[in-house]
Amino acid sequence: MRTVLNKITVIGVGLIGGSFAKGIKQLGLAKEIHGFGNNEENLKMAVDLQVVDSYSTDIQTAMQDCDLVMLAVPLGAMQPVLESLRPHIPQSAIITDAGSAKQSVIDAVTKVFGYLPENFVPGHPIAGKEQSGVAAADDQLFVDHRVILTPAESTSSAAVETVKKLWLALDARVEVMSAGFHDEVFAATSHLPHLLAFALVEMLHEHPELGNVFKYTAGGFRDFSRIASSDATMWRDISIYNHQAIAKWMTEYRDYLSGMIELVEKQDAEALYELFTTAKQARDQHIVNKQD
């Protein structure tokens, strides 16, 4: 991308907003990368770490002369933030976001504007880590990771193209799908494993009869539970704003576990071996040696 934008405002300069800002700033794809948020210390740090060029805690200043807004706040903060920016955002400015669920953000935008603006491009980078805040921002975070865009039929193709070019410049791989399919797929592949990790750690923590149980954990537990160190606000909001799909996949998983409990109780060696073999083959084929 060589078209240089005038001013990009990142609302929520944390892990994701900060990583996006830092990458775009280093590539010089906007004359100014401006940060806005509810935590001034964090915004000062963002300037010190050269993640953004400038910041404000006043939304009018943040929106002035801005031609693209990236919303990278927790899902529950999307609507209040949109309400505050709406009176000040230039009409031609593109709005995009990084929220982990898509339909809820589309609903929030529609509610605040009274219609779905053609310059709104919903997005979700499929990259992250268990840390949050601007100190964890990494300009390489999105390299070789998918970014899903879920535009509506009415979304301007020029706006989609601009957002796509920014992510491609960060070496991400952009894919377009419907918001409904997005929310279903990521409930199964991202939201479900996070909730399972939180549940396992919480369950062991609640069993004092096991003593200092975490002392006896090693690589397996560490791999499975890493994501239980993720931010509680972010995961509370994802659980609430994609609740239907998440509850559906949790129920499916519970049924699956019930079946496995029966196999273990019956000591059904053959069925257990088959299940573990199928799962190992699927993971080895699709994740360990992933080609695309």
Ligand X SMILES: O=C(O)C(=O)C[C@]1(C(=O)O)C=C[C@@H](O)C=C1
Ligand Y SMILES: NC(=O)c1ccc[n+]([C@@H]2O[C@H](COP(=O)([O-])OP(=O)(O)OC[C@H]3O[C@@H](n4cnc5c(N)ncnc54)[C@H](O)[C@@H]3O)[C@@H](O)[C@H]2O)c1
- Rounded to whole angstroms, the Cα distance separating 287 from 281 reads 10
- Whichever of 109 and 197 has its CB closer to ligand X, that residue is 197
Q: Is 138 an interacting residue with respect to ligand X (CB under 6 A)? A: no
Q: Are 72 and 16 in contact (CB under 8 A)?
A: yes
**Shortest CB 119 distance to ligand X, Å:** 23
190 binds, options ligand X, ligand Y, none, Cβ within 5 to 8 A by partner type: ligand X
Q: Is 126 an interacting residue with respect to ligand X (CB under 6 A)? A: yes
DSSP SS3 for 204: helix
227 binds, options ligand Y, ligand X, none, Cβ within 5 to 8 A by partner type: ligand X
Q: What's 65's DSSP letter?
A: T
Give the ranges where the chain is alpha helix by DSSP (H).
15-27, 40-48, 59-63, 78-85, 103-113, 157-169, 179-186, 192-205, 219-225, 232-241, 243-265, 269-283
**Shortest CB 230 distance to ligand Y, Å:** 7
Using the rule CB under 6 A, give the single segment among 123-131, 151-159, 166-174, 257-265 that binds ligand X: 123-131
Q: Is 103 an interacting residue with respect to ligand X (CB under 6 A)? A: no
Match 């992250």 to its residue by tokens. 128
Q: Is 184 an interacting residue with respect to ligand X (CB under 6 A)? A: no
**Shortest CB 81 distance to ligand Y, Å:** 5
Using the rule CB under 6 A, give the single segment among 51-59, 127-135, 200-208, 214-222 that binds ligand X: 127-135
Tokens encoding 185: 């797929």
Which residue of 149, 227, 228, 245 would you call a contact of ligand X, by CB under 6 A?
227
3-state helix, strand, coil in the chain (%, to 5): 55, 15, 30
**Shortest CB 59 distance to ligand X, Å:** 25
Q: Are 245 and 103 in contact (CB under 8 A)?
A: no
The contact set with ligand X (CB under 6 A) reads 100, 126-130, 190, 227, 230
